[in-house]
Copies of this chain bind each other. A is one copy, B any other.
């Protein structure tokens, strides 16, 4: 998972804030992460994603979506469901998912 700041449209739109702490288990984690970004980007309503993980193991991934229905469809997507299940079982020590409606946004290119 790489990339920079997401270029999102004017609000309102939705954000899925996924915060996680990783276990020490790797076993395909990076490849799965890349595959999920690739798949998400093809989903209807996908607006962008920002993702980073620090050296301490805490990661934050925020994906942006046009509507709540698009988020529900992505959550239910077959391959993504398998990835979620593997994440819960072996890759994440703890995680929190928050669904939020973005109401305002402002950017600062230097």
Contacts and interface: CB of A to CB of B under 8 A. Distances in A.
Contact of A53 (B52, B93, B110): B52
A24 interface: no
Interface residues of A, number: 44
Q: Is chain A's interface secondary structure helix, strand, loop, or mixed overall?
A: strand
Number of copies: 2
A108 B91 CA distance: 12
A65 to B, nearest CB: 12
A28 interface: no
A108 B58 CA distance: 14
Interface of A: 2-6, 8, 11, 15, 17, 19-21, 23, 50-56, 58-60, 62, 88, 92-110
